[in-house]
Structure 1
Amino acid sequence: MVGSADGRAAPGVDINSVVRDRVTGRTGRVISVEADGRLLLCPLRGGPGWEVSPTDIVRLDSTEALRARVAEANAASTWGRLPTSSPNPEVPRRRSTSPATPLPLSLTRPVPVTGCADCTRLAEAEAAAGRDQSAAADERIRLRRHLAAAHR
């Protein structure tokens, strides 16, 4: 049981229990019980805590608690911040201030120049890679670099 400053306990709730605040929809960990019986919750990934009445919480089972922890971790890693206090936050997308830079990639296979020994060697190396797609891609990159440097 969670102990309070005066020794009282909130029934059915332990310190470090993962609970959901029904009022705000936020998920948090119980860190203490205040003298008036209110629980002090802290977000799963840290941050400022908040107080809640024991009647306004739902204790999460281990599956729901794990789901909440994973959702918080995913939100933090994907968006660089924690979700808002809404139970179904609409997480804003990152917006770039610069326009997209076109990549100088050609999706077509590079064509070796007839009569060039280096082009022939690189094309043969790609063919020799066979089913090793990574090695074949490396050889295509080498051929593209050679074409850009020697034939343009």
Structure 2
Amino acid sequence: MPAETCVMGLFKDDGTAARAIRDLAGSGFAFRGAHSPVPSHKILEALKLKKGRVGWFTLAGGILGFFSGFALAIFTSTRWDLIVSGKPIVSLIPFFIVGFEFTILFSVFGNVIGLLTCCRLPDYAGLAVYDPRCSGEHFGVLAACESNRRGELTDFFEKKGGEVRIFE
């Protein structure tokens, strides 16, 4: 099997980059990513991204936090001999406050863990296929192909009006 080669098409505006992304989907080449100096709605529409899973991490963290806070309050009240004057040792309203606070705390933890997991951060491998011009004035579209099809992919980006950079 031939080695994989990454080719980046560098475009001056986001409209041509978005058209290249849409046309790349049906060309048989593997789309690897888009680099943009500014947020672009045209590129986001062309990527057709699905809804992220970070919210599920936040929900799981919140549920875990609520029950952890409630369990901590119950544990501490039953562990130490508190004089409650005939009232129940485990009362819902004060323990609900602790559960609520832990819900917020663990939701934030879940959100951060979900963000790092879903975005695959830190990503040191992606630095090898990046052009610094994408931080300033160019929009980059990164695609991959077998080494023997590199010429076809280069022609594809040139026909779309972009500069070409090849990463071996």
The answer to whether TM tops 0.5 is no
Give the number of the structure with larger relative contact order, counting CA–CA contacts within 8 Å between residues 6 or more apart.
2
Structure with greater proportional helix content:
2
Q: TM-score, normalised by structure 2?
A: 0.22
Select the structure of larger CA radius of gyration: 1
